[in-house]
A and B are shown apart, each in its own frame.
Chain A
């Protein structure tokens, strides 16, 4: 597949973020909800962030060495378009979360949300919006712009 540095970068980031999130969020929700263990949640979060940084640093270095890390106006435009979509996703996800918090408090429709579970949900919305950005970038590279 014929890809620019930025597209390869987006693919790598997407795979790394998706894999780490797939492992992290079940563990994080468990730590926040059932165990109610802030120490474990902080440890998980720091561990995942460090793992993500290491994976990204290695991968980006390898593809930059191969491609020279070149980018141009099309990359910048695609990045802006993808960030706009990520902004919509983040907005919708955060309003949904706020709605859920209000519903839980006002109507007792589910178990009470603690500060820890809300923190994990916020991390989840941020991750979803980043994944939406990376998918949008790849879609623009493949099909348009």
Chain B
């Protein structure tokens, strides 16, 4: 399974925000639940716009949610 170079803390942040479900996050961001699942599993790197929206949902800066780790694949 291809992993991306983009890491994220979405799962941890969801639980810190009242155990927010993947479906709720998906609805707030405007994507499907399966896309949130793929992002959490680091199988899919979201667009910059979706990444900003996810960060905005948690009220965090982008780099608190996503990080880039070249060569860590």
* Contact surface of A with B, Cβ cutoff 8 Å: 2-5, 7, 70-75, 141, 143-145
Give Cα A5 to B1, complex, Å.
22
Give Cα A141 to B35, complex, Å.
10
Given A144-B43, A145-B38, A145-B43 in contact, is the A72-B31 Cβ separation under 8 Å? yes
Report B-chain residues with C-beta under 8 Å of the C-beta of A143. 1-2
Q: Which of A72, A144, A145 contacts B32 (CB 8 A)?
A: A72
Give Cα A72 to B35, complex, Å.
8
Whether A73 pairs with B2 at a CB distance below 8 angstroms is no
- 17 example contacts (A-B, Cβ-Cβ < 8 A) are as follows A2-B37, A3-B34, A4-B34, A4-B35, A5-B32, A70-B32, A71-B32, A72-B32, A73-B31, A73-B35, A74-B31, A74-B32, A74-B38, A143-B2, A144-B1, A144-B2, A144-B43
